[in-house]
Amino acid sequence: MHVRQRISIVKSVFSFLLLLSVWLATATGGQALGIPLPDTAEPTEAASQPAPSIEAERDPSQDERIAQRIRGFFGAIGKFSAVTVDVTEGVVTLSGTVPEQADIEEAARLAGNVQGVVTVENTLERDVSLGGGLGAIGSVEDRFADFVQMLPLLGAALLVALAIGTAGYLLAGFGSLWRRVTPNPFLAELVASAIRFGFIILGLVIALDMIGAGALLGAVLGGAGVIGIALGFAMRDTIENYVASLMLSLRQPFRANDHVLIDDLEGRVIRLTSRATILMTLDGNHLRIPNGQVFKAVILNYTRNPQRRFEFEMGIDADDNPDAARRLGRETMAGLPFVLADPGPEARTVAVGDSNIVIKFLGWIDQTEADFFKARSRALAAVKTALEGAGFGLPEPIYRLRFDPRTNPLPFENIGERATKEAPPTPSEPRLAPAPGDHAHEDVRPSDEIAQMVEAERATGGEEKDLLDRGRPVE
C-alpha cells in the first residue's frame, strides 16, 4: 500500500477515535474519560429554588415544640411508638426500633416535614427481637379479620362471575343457531367456544373489580399474554394447521369422493377433519395429509370436469408418411364409441428421431361413462393395430455394435460352416393381430371400486367431524 494512503487511513482512524471520546465525555458528563466539562445542563426546579436559610439566633423553646410535635404524631402511629425523639438546635435525632425496614425511611421523612427542622439524624433500627417477630402475628390476625369481613363481598363477586359464565355457556349452547349463521359446523363450534371464553373473562373482570383487585387482573392478563406469545412460537405448526383447517372448511376446495392430486399425493377424498385431509389412494390405502400442507399445496381435481383428455405417443418408421399415419390414427380413435366427437381426437408430430417419427395421439372421454385408464389402453391398442395393418412400421431402437482391434472375431468361413451344420429353425405360426373394430366392443366403463370403498368408509362415520359440505359451492 502507498505511504500516503497509509497516512490517510491513520488520520481517519484518529479522527474517529477523537470524535468517539468527545461523544463519551459529553454523554457521561466527563466521568467516563476523566474530562471535566462545564455544567451546561439546564437547572432543575430544585436547583433553581434557593436553599432554606438557617436562622442565626434560635428560640430555645422551639426545639421542645418540634420534639413534642414529632412525638405527638409518632404516638398516633402504632409502628412508631418505640421511637425516641431528641431535638437540639433544630437537628432531630431519631433512635429506637421499628417493625419493618421501610419504616425507617418513612419516620425520617415525616420528621423532616415539620417546620423548623434543620436536618434529621436517623439512627433507627429494625426490631429483630423475638417479641418484635411475634408482634407480626397481630397483623396476621388483623388481616384474617379483614378477610372474614370481606367474605360476603367475595361471595357476591363469585356469584356474579358464575352467573355471567353460566349465561355464556347457555348462549353458546344454541348449536343450531350458530350452525345456521355460520358456513360450517367447525366455524360454529369455534364461535361457541369464543362466546364461552369471552363470558368467563367478563365474569372474572367484574368479580375482581367488585373486590378491588383490578391490578391483580392486569398482572394475570399480562403474564398470560407473555405465556401466550411463548406458546404461539412453540406451537406454531399446530396453530398454522388449525387456521388452515378453518380456511379449508370455508373454501371447500373439493367434495367427498373427488379424485384429487395434492402435490404428488393422489387419491379419492374420504373426509376433511379439523386436523387433516384423509384420502384413499388408488391402491386402497388411507392417507392423512395435514391441513397446513393441503392449504399451501397445488390441488388438481380430476372429478370437477367430467371431460378428460388422454394421450399417448407412438413412433413410425422414418421412411413412412407421418401425415397418413396421423390421419389414420384420428379416424381409428373417432371410430371408438367411448371417444368424444366434440372435442374430437387429434394427432400431432412431436419429434423426428434417428430411426423413427414420434406422433402423439390425443382423445377426449366422458369420465362418467368411461374409465380413463381403460379408455387410454383401448385407444392405444386400436391405433397400433390400425397402423400395423396399414403397413406402417413401428421400429424398435437400432443399436450399432463396434469391435475394437483387440477383439478377435470369428473367421467368416467358420461362421458359414457352423450355420450350415445347425438345423434350420422351424417357422412359428404367425400371430394374428386383432382387427381395428375389435377394440370398440371392449368394456371401458368406469372402475368404481375405490369410490365404493370411500362411500362405505364415509357411511361408517369417524371419530372426527367431516367439514365437507355439499351445500356450499366449491372454490
Adjacent-strand bridge partners of 97:
125
Gap between the Cα atoms of 296 and 247, Å rounded: 11
Mean pLDDT throughout 120-126?
A: 86
pLDDT class for 32, splitting at 50, 70, 90?
very low
The model's pTM is 0.53
Q: Which residue has the higher pLDDT, 231 or 333?
A: 333
Gap between the Cα atoms of 59 and 66, Å rounded: 11
- pLDDT (0 to 100) of residue 446: 75
- pLDDT (0 to 100) of residue 457: 81
For residue 286, CA distances in Å to 256, 302, 452 come to 14, 19, 14
Per DSSP bridges, beta strands 91-98 and 125-126 are parallel
Sheet holding 307-317, edge to edge: 307-317, 356-366, 346-352
Residue 81 has pLDDT above 50, yes or no: yes
**What are 393-402's pLDDT values in tens digits?**
888 766 667 6
Q: Which residue has the higher pLDDT, 137 or 232?
A: 232
Q: Which residue has the higher pLDDT, 370 or 406?
A: 370
* CA atoms in the 13 A half-sphere facing the CB of 432: 3
**What are 361-393's pLDDT values in tens digits?**
999 999 988 989 999 999 999 999 999 999 998
| 46 Cβ contact partners less than 8 Å away, ≥ 6 residues apart | none
Instruction: Report the mean per-residue pLDDT for the chain.
Output: 77
Per the CB < 8 A criterion, the answer to whether 302 and 294 are in contact is no
- pLDDT (0 to 100) of residue 31: 45
Q: For cell 505511504, what's the residue?
A: 3
**What are 165-208's pLDDT values in tens digits?**
899 888 888 877 877 777 767 777 788 888 888 888 888 888 88
- pLDDT (0 to 100) of residue 335: 92
- pLDDT (0 to 100) of residue 57: 62
pLDDT class for 439, splitting at 50, 70, 90?
low
Return the SS3 of 448: coil
Return the SS3 of 303: coil
pLDDT class for 299, splitting at 50, 70, 90?
very high
User: 58's torsion region: left (phi>0), alpha (psi -120 to 50) or beta?
Assistant: beta
Mean pLDDT throughout 81-95?
A: 86
Q: Tell me which residue of 436, 443, 434, 433 sits closest to 335, measured CA to CA.
A: 436
Q: What is the DSSP string of 253-303?
A: ---TT-EEEETTEEEEEEEE-SSEEEEE-TTS-EEEEEHHHHHHS-EEESS
Q: Phi then psi for 458, rounded to 5 degrees?
A: -70, -30
pLDDT class for 425, splitting at 50, 70, 90?
very low
- pLDDT (0 to 100) of residue 288: 93
| 137 Cβ contact partners less than 8 Å away, ≥ 6 residues apart | none
Helix axes 130-172, 185-210, angle to 10 degrees: 140
Gap between the Cα atoms of 379 and 330, Å rounded: 10
CA quadruple 232, 171, 463, 455: dihedral, nearest 10: -120
C-alpha cell at 264: 404428488
C-alpha cell at 356: 423413427
For residue 171, CA distances in Å to 122, 249, 270 come to 64, 24, 33
